[in-house]
């Protein structure tokens, strides 16, 4: 097996860009068919957790007299702080799981990856297809969860799209970055370690990703404020706050955009390298 064109029907083995594009699109269509068949499961998996979090924190708590301290919460309402973070987490979580979990199965159980390897594409293009389709699912999750969560928290939420371009850029980078992280995790870990990965990586990423609070509020715990800068979810949450709730303290758009761009490129390169090594081994 080579690293240029693995195998495939003679009509598509051309090294032309047209042949690669046809094979690439064929894999995308194949995945779209599977996603359509699992549409209900995708919707429930995407909406349930953020919906319940928003329901409890932004709907139930204010009505039973439970609140959250801090000047920001008093001025803006906790729902205003929470909603961008929930959209950020849902987008990241869906992008990671949409790529990592199927890859673990394809490499270790179903061996479907061997069928994909027969496509007339370089292995790096196979990795790119995984990232692109994972990013699509992450974006779809953001589109689905936004209205569902907003309906719950609309009475205690003040949203205003301050910059549509910034919103689109942050969401796209979050989608591709999360999918690239999923590619890396899916090619490094084996099935028996998946629960451990989610316990040691996904849960800390969520709670330390400024999902429930602005990054600026961590100034009172300076060491933690600096430590969470290693978490890409922080920049997604802060970027969405800057785009959706500009009245809440948030990082500079240039900081969030630059950090997410660097993280996406680094994770994409690392994930592609581990994917090629795993596929060709």
Residues 6+ apart with CB under 8 A from 44: none
Burial bucket for residue 62 (CB in 10 Å: 0-12, 13-18, 19+): middle
pTM for the full predicted model: 0.81
* pLDDT, tens only, 114-161: 777 777 778 888 888 899 989 998 888 888 887 877 777 676 666 677
Q: Which tens digits make up the pLDDT trace of 210-222? A: 988 899 999 999 9
Q: Which residue has the higher pLDDT, 35 or 8?
A: 35
Res. 253: pLDDT tops 80: yes
Cα–Cα distance for residue pair 185/260, rounded to 1 Å: 18
What does the block give as tokens for 187?
Answer: 């090619």
Cα-flanking dihedrals φ and ψ of residue 190, to 5°? -105, 165
Percent residues over pLDDT 90 in the chain: 25
Rounded mean pLDDT, 168-192:
89
In terms of pLDDT, which residue wins out, 13 or 67? 67
pLDDT at 66: 52
User: What angle is formed at CA 244 by the lines to CA 94 and CA 65, rounded to 5 degrees?
Assistant: 90
Percent of the chain with pLDDT over 70: 84
């Amino acid at each position: 097996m080579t690293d240029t064109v693995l195998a495939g029907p003679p009509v598509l083995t051309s090294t032309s860009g047209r042949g690669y594009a046809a094979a690439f699109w064929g894999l995308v269509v194949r995945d779209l068919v599977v996603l359509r068949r699992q549409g209900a499961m995708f919707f429930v998996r995407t909406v349930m957790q953020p919906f319940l979090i928003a329901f409890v924190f932004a709907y139930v708590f204010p009505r039973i007299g439970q609140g959250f301290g801090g000047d920001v919460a008093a001025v803006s309402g906790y729902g205003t702080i929470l909603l961008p973070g929930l959209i950020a987490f849902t987008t990241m979580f869906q992008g990671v799981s949409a790529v990592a979990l199927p890859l673990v199965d394809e490499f270790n159980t179903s061996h479907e990856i061997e069928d994909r390897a027969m496509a007339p594409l370089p292995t790096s293009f196979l990795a790119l297809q995984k990232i692109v389709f994972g990013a699509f699912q992450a974006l779809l999750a953001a589109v689905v969860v936004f209205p569902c969560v907003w309906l719950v928290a609309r009475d205690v939420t003040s949203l205003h799209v301050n910059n549509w371009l910034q919103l689109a850029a942050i969401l796209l980078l979050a989608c591709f970055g999360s999918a690239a992280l999923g590619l890396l995790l899916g090619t490094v870990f084996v099935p028996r370690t998946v629960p451990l990965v989610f316990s040691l990586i996904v849960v800390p990423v969520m709670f330390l990703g400024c999902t429930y609070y602005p990054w600026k509020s961590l100034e009172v715990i300076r060491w933690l404020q600096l430590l969470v800068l290693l978490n890409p979810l922080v920049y997604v949450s802060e970027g969405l706050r800057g785009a959706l709730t500009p009245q809440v303290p948030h990082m500079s758009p240039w900081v969030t955009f630059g950090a997410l761009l660097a993280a996406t490129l680094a994770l994409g390169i690392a994930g592609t390298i581990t994917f090629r090594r795993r596929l060709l081994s």
